């Protein structure tokens, strides 16, 4: 491929494992996505834990991820702890591109079942998980206390790999 071709055709979005060096960027994305953000130190600590699997989504030639997903493995089960895409990159199918190889990575590490919890009103996240094959297992009414003082229900979902 020529230099001009490379310029005209940037690499397709790709997914790679991320480690503690990405902690500040993950904290920034998390802060843009959730009302109670985790700091850089929280991410450094988590990314250093045994059993944590973290993947980042990289767009074009960017060195920093535009999204990430973080799971914790315990024996042959895993929990997706958080997934977020930077606001400017949402609504373009990126979360799906990110989740598919992440689930493959969990499967390769011997995970048979994946769990997660999501706010009932979070349409994009629920659509993402359903599309990946997750099914609702429980509903916890009024589980989340929102910043505006209201409560929201949680859905727990699971997928057998
Ligand atoms: C949830 C999130 C990761 C999705 O990322 P994304 O890259 O925008 O998602 P995608 O473009 O891959 O779309 C995922 C699905 O949501 C659907 N979707 C997009 N916007 C939607 C909306 N406002 N309402 C309902 N569904 C929507 C898409 O159509 C797609 O479904 P499909 O594959 O059946 O067509 C992203 O919105 C985000 O970071 N949100 C803030 C953090 C968050 O809520 N994380 C989940 C916590 S459990």
| Domain coordinates in residue numbering, the chain | 3-115
Determine the pLDDT at residue 149: 83
Closest ligand 1 atom to Cα of 99: 12
Q: For a pLDDT cut of 70, what percent of the chain falls above it? A: 94
Which residue minimizes the CA distance to atom 22 of ligand 1?
A: 124
Judge whether residue 30 has pLDDT over 90. yes
Whether 7 shows a pLDDT value over 80: the answer reads no
b or e along 115-142 (b: 16 or more beta carbons within 10 Å of the residue's beta carbon)? ebbbebeeeebbebbeebebeeeeeeee
Helix (H, G, I), strand (E, B) or coil at 41: helix
Pocket mutation for ligand 1, best pick of 67, 70, 115, 128 (most atoms within 8 Å of C-beta): 128
The 10s digit of each residue's pLDDT in 99-140 is 999 999 999 999 999 999 999 999 999 999 999 999 999 999
| 2 token code pair | 């020529």
The pLDDT assigned to 35 comes to: 86
Fold (topology level) of 3-115: Aminopeptidase (3.40.630)
- State residue 11's pLDDT score: 79
DSSP 8-state symbol, 45: H
CA angle 75, 78, 81 (to 5 degrees): 140
Q: What is the mean pLDDT of the chain?
A: 93
Q: 47-64 pLDDT, tens per residue?
A: 999 999 999 999 988 999
Whole-angstrom distance, CA of residue 107 vs CA of residue 80: 13
Cα–Cα distance for residue pair 111/116, rounded to 1 Å: 14
8-22, 31-45, 116-130: segment of lowest average pLDDT = 8-22
Structure tokens at 55: 């993947």
């Amino acid at each position: 491929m020529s230099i001009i071709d490379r310029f005209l055709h940037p690499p397709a979005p790709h997914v790679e494992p991320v480690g503690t060096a990405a902690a500040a960027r993950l904290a920034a994305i998390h802060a843009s996505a959730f009302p109670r953000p985790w700091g850089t130190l929280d991410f450094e600590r988590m990314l250093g834990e045994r059993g944590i699997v973290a993947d980042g989504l990289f767009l074009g030639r960017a060195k920093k991820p535009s999204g990430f997903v973080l799971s914790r493995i315990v024996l042959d089960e895993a929990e997706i702890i958080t997934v977020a895409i930077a606001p400017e990159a949402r609504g373009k199918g990126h979360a799906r591109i990110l989740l598919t190889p992440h689930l493959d990575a969990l499967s390769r590490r011997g995970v048979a079942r994946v769990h997660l919890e999501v706010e009932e009103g979070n349409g994009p996240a629920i659509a993402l998980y359903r599309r990946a094959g997750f099914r609702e297992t429980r509903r916890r009414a009024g589980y989340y206390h929102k910043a505006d003082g209201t409560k929201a229900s949680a859905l727990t979902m699971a997928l057998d790999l």
